[in-house]
């Protein structure tokens, strides 16, 4: 289908200094947990973005010197020439698809503790390092340090050009970068020419920009990434007047302004707390003060909002990290008039969790993310079917829907049976909880795709028992029947059912989602520690109940630190008046309330309540599997050649894990048996040992 002319403006080329972007789609820097540890995985992931039509594809933050060692986080590193080949590999593939390659050079100042390099971190002032609460301080830089930093940045820019980059970033965000910390009035208390007035605080950024331009600006564009609301007034609100001055002072110095906002939890706002385009009010002034192109983000997935940003003069480039992760082919799909095929980001921030957990990037919507090279999974292409045998998929939750969709894409004849009236499984229910509506996109994308496939038949309101599965007699059976929350309190903290449960009205999350309304006061007991406990507390409180959330963890919804949601959740619950009791487990349930015990001291206290919602763990809904698997001969007689269970009915986990399991089962259908390690690995290249230095030659390297 030709593209809608309304979107033509998105495909105009835009000049950035000495280079030209072929359209307005710009993959802004984003971390990916692969970077320096799994460089080929990182490179091929970026190649796929370029293939998907992004005109500019950038790296993640890339440290320029061992005094800015971002470890243990797995990000980029360009410390010396030996790091060049990693980026050269990335850039060759990006260029092959006609895109520009950008690198976000940074020195993180007082943010990182330099755990690997063991260098002393350098900063604008003596400051404790921010990341990880490490008991380490950065030392204040003197003039010689500042000169050294400027030299490192310049040399990194030269190295970046040798690696093939077209766009070189200077990073300026307080709390995250040296330039930003020098700019920050709060952090910069210096009395030399780098402190005091705004011009002085901006001096370092200006120098680094000018020196990058002087070093590589004839052939590379120089971008400035700037957090526009960085300056806080004493009352905590942003001092936007100072930000305006910064843009006025530097207006034409960079070739490109990449603007965002302070704090990763605000910049990558979870969908539960902010919508598409949420940064507009803060960043819109920048374009009025510079003629240089401006890129900004806002989890843009709708081409209409993108066009609106351009037409109204807010942005020149549609920047995206998460939308490009959820759908690396977003630009191509708009260009080809295939809007239905866009896999829209749901704003769950599972992608962000990969950075905090230091593992390769993953995405709820896009199961191929991070697997492009190591498993050879492409987000759009999939091998054709390996046999003509039809497949039965039971259960249309995220696992079953993705499995059926991908099998359908491969060309299999697929029958998808779902017990309920609506497809979606847990996503259908959970997306009705406060703030989680966008999570329904996991279901909507797949239902939409499945609806287009003639080889796929969906039967709703069709609960299958073992007899029905046998009668259907389809040779391949995949069960994706999901899981249910436990009703007895067993979970991380309690290995046996809670004593005295019968003295209270007990509910599970499914009960509450199905509309069963507890009587207050109600306690939500959250030993699951992800979002469910917090979001149920919010729901019941909004319904007017007196709610207390009790958790054995140190924080409400503790795991959501990894998805940048924790602070928002805690604030929302406290604004709503939900009482929070942390570090307490249930010692016993009694008529009229709970006896809680502090998880360290064991000291007990009473908490009156009438109802108890238990959010502890789930158990697979695998009765159908057990019955079918118990009689292999009957299966064989019915013509069933393979029986598999996937997703939550194998082992309950995240929605992302269920989608991944569904995709993997579809890919592996009729595929050759996987090796013991079912993906390619990048091994560390061993340095040769030096016998002259007393190092023992290693006979496995053949140097015996
Ligand atoms: P997952 O996250 O693994 O996809 P869900 O719990 O979200 O799991 O989805 C499982 C789906 O399977 C639910 O929609 C449920 O109604 C459906 N289901 C469970 N048992 C059967 C069955 N015997 N026949 C048909 N559908 C079933
Ligand atoms: Fe979007 Fe969630 Fe995927 Fe991240 S993990 S890109 S937030 S859908």
For 468-493, give the DSSP string: HHHHH--SEEEE---EEE-SS--SSS
Task: Write the CB contacts of 368 (distance below 8 Å, at least 6 apart in sequence).
Answer: 377, 378, 379, 663
Do 334 and 372 form a contact (C-beta atoms < 8 A)?
no
User: What pLDDT score does 91 carry?
Assistant: 98
Q: How many Cβ atoms are within 10 Å of 137's Cβ, its own excluded?
A: 15
Omega prior to 521 cis, within 30 of 0: yes
Cβ of residue 395 lying under 6 Å from some atom of ligand 1: yes
Each as own residue / partner, the long-range contacts of residues 671-680 (CB below 8 Å, 24 or more positions apart, any chain) are 671/383, 671/386, 678/375, 679/371, 679/374, 679/375, 680/373, 680/374, 680/375, 680/376
Cβ of residue 346 lying under 6 Å from some atom of ligand 2: yes
Cβ of residue 418 lying under 6 Å from some atom of ligand 1: yes
Cβ of residue 654 lying under 6 Å from some atom of ligand 2: no
Helices and strands of the chain, counted as H and E runs: 24, 29
Residue 77: phi, psi to the nearest 5?
Answer: -145, 125
The SS3 assignment for 102 reads strand
Ligand 2 atom with the shortest distance to the CA of 352: 4
Cβ of residue 585 lying under 6 Å from some atom of ligand 2: no
Cβ of residue 397 lying under 6 Å from some atom of ligand 1: yes
Place of tokens 């896999």: 343
Task: Write the CB contacts of 235 (distance below 8 Å, at least 6 apart in sequence).
Answer: none
Q: Which of the residues in the chain have pLDDT under 50?
A: 703-704
Instruction: Report the alpha-carbon distance of residue 641 to residue 635 in Å, rounded.
Output: 8
Cβ of residue 658 lying under 6 Å from some atom of ligand 1: yes
Q: Give the number of whichever ligand sits closest to the CA of residue 438.
A: 2
Task: Write the CB contacts of 354 (distance below 8 Å, at least 6 apart in sequence).
Answer: 31, 32, 33, 360, 361, 362, 370
Among 27, 342, 346, 565, residue to substitute to test ligand 2 (most atoms within 8 Å of Cβ) = 346
The tokens of 24 are what? 């307005």
Among 273, 327, 350, residue to substitute to test ligand 2 (most atoms within 8 Å of Cβ) = 350
User: What pLDDT score does 695 carry?
Assistant: 87
User: What pLDDT score does 131 carry?
Assistant: 87
Q: How far apart are the first and last CA of the chain?
A: 64
Cβ of residue 326 lying under 6 Å from some atom of ligand 2: yes
User: What pLDDT score does 704 carry?
Assistant: 43
Instruction: Report the alpha-carbon distance of residue 57 to residue 41 in Å, rounded.
Output: 15
- The DSSP call for residue 10 is G
| 399: nearest Cα among 686, 571, 653 | 653
Ligand 2 atom with the shortest distance to the CA of 322: 6
At 296, which helix (H) or strand (E)? strand 294-296
Cα(133) to centroid of ligand 1, in Å?
42
CA 162 to chain centre: 30
Give, using CA atoms, the residue closest to atom 8 of ligand 2: 345
Q: Give the number of whichever ligand sits closest to the CA of residue 362.
A: 2
The SS3 assignment for 66 reads helix
User: What pLDDT score does 702 carry?
Assistant: 54
> Model confidence over 212-226: pLDDT tens digits?
999 999 999 999 999
Q: How many Cβ atoms are within 10 Å of 438's Cβ, its own excluded?
A: 21
Q: ∠90-96-101 over CA atoms, to 5°?
A: 45
Among 348, 392, 395, 443, residue to substitute to test ligand 1 (most atoms within 8 Å of Cβ) = 395
Cβ of residue 420 lying under 6 Å from some atom of ligand 1: yes
Q: Give the number of whichever ligand sits closest to the CA of residue 31.
A: 2
Cβ of residue 271 lying under 6 Å from some atom of ligand 2: no
Instruction: Report the alpha-carbon distance of residue 290 to residue 257 in Å, rounded.
Output: 9
Instruction: Report the alpha-carbon distance of residue 120 to residue 436 in Å, rounded.
Output: 43
Cα(62) to centroid of ligand 2, in Å?
22
Q: Give the number of whichever ligand sits closest to the CA of residue 355.
A: 2
Instruction: Report the alpha-carbon distance of residue 33 to residue 36 in Å, rounded.
Output: 9
Do 479 and 629 form a contact (C-beta atoms < 8 A)?
no
Ligand 2 atom with the shortest distance to the CA of 323: 6
Do 258 and 223 form a contact (C-beta atoms < 8 A)?
yes
The SS3 assignment for 513 reads helix
């Amino acid at each position: 289908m030709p593209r809608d002319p309304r979107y033509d403006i998105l495909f105009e080329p835009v000049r950035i200094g000495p280079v030209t972007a072929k359209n307005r789609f710009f993959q802004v820097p984003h971390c990916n947990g692969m970077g320096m540890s799994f460089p080929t995985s990182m490179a091929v992931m970026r190649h796929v973005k370029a293939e998907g039509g992004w005109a500019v594809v950038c790296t993640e933050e890339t440290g320029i010197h061992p005094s800015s060692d971002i470890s243990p986080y797995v990000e980029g590193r360009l410390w010396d020439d030996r790091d060049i080949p990693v980026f050269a590999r990335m850039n060759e593939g990006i260029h092959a698809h006609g895109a520009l390659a950008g690198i976000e050079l940074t020195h993180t100042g007082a943010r990182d503790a330099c755990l690997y390099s063991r260098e002393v971190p350098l900063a604008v002032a003596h400051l404790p390092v921010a990341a990880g609460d490490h008991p380490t301080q950065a030392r204040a830089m003197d003039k010689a340090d500042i000169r050294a930093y400027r030299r490192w940045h310049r040399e990194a820019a030269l190295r970046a050009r040798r690696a093939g980059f077209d766009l070189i970033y200077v990073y300026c965000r307080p709390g995250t970068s040296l330039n930003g910390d020098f700019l920050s009035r709060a952090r910069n208390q210096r009395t030399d020419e780098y402190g005091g007035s705004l011009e002085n605080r901006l001096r370092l950024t200006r120098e680094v920009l000018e020196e990058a331009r002087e070093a590589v600006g004839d052939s590379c564009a120089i971008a400035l990434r700037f957090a526009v609301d960085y300056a806080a007034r004493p009352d905590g609100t942003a001092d936007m007047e100072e930000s305006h001055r910064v843009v006025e002072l530097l207006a034409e110095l960079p070739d490109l302004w990449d603007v965002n906002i302070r704090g990763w939890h605000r910049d990558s706002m979870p969908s539960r707390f902010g919508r598409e385009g949420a940064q507009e009010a803060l960043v819109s002034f920048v374009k009025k003060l510079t003629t240089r192109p401006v890129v900004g983000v806002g989890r843009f997935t709708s081409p209409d909002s993108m066009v609106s940003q351009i037409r109204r003069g807010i942005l020149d480039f549609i920047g995206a990290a998460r939308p490009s992760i959820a759908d690396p082919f977003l630009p191509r799909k708009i260009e080809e008039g295939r809007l239905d095929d866009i896999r829209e980001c749901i704003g769950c921030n599972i992608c962000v969790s990969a950075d905090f957990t230091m593992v390769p990037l993953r995405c709820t919507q896009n199961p191929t993310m991070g697997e492009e090279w190591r498993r050879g999974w492409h987000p759009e292409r999939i091998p054709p079917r390996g046999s003509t045998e039809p497949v039965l998929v039971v259960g249309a939750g995220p696992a079953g829907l993705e499995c059926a969709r991908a099998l359908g894409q491969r060309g299999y004849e697929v029958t998808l049976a779902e017990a309920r009236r609506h497809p979606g499984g847990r996503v259908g229910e959970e997306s009705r909880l406060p703030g989680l509506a966008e999570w329904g996109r996991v279901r909507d994308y797949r239902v939409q795709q499945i609806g287009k496939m003639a080889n796929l038949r969906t039967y709703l309101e069709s609960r299958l028992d073992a007899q029905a599965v046998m009668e259907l007699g389809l040779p391949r059976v995949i069960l994706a029947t999901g899981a249910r929350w436990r009703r007895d309190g067993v979970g991380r903290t309690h290995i046996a059912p809670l004593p005295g449960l019968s003295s209270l009205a007990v509910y599970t999350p499914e009960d509450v989602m199905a509309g069963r309304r507890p009587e207050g006061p109600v306690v939500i007991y959250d030993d699951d520690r992800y979002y469910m406990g917090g979001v149920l507390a919010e729901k019941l409180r909004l319904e007017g109940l007196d709610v207390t959330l009790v958790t054995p963890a140190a924080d409400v919804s503790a795991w959501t630190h990894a998805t940048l949601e924790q602070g928002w959740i805690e604030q929302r619950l406290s604004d709503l008046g939900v009482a929070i009791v942390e570090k307490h487990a249930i010692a016993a349930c009694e008529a009229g309330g709970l006896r809680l015990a502090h998880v360290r001291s064991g000291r007990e206290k009473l908490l009156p309540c009438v109802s108890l919602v238990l959010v502890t763990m789930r158990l697979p809904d695998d009765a159908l599997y057990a019955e079918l698997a118990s009689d292999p001969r009957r299966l064989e007689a019915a013509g069933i050649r393979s029986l598999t269970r996937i997703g939550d009915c194998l082992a309950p986990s995240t929605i992302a894990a269920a989608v991944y399991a569904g995709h993997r089962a579809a890919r592996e259908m009729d595929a050759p048996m996987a090796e013991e390690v079912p993906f390619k690995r990048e091994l560390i290249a061993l340095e040769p040992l030096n016998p002259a230095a007393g190092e023992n030659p290693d006979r496995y390297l053949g140097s015996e």
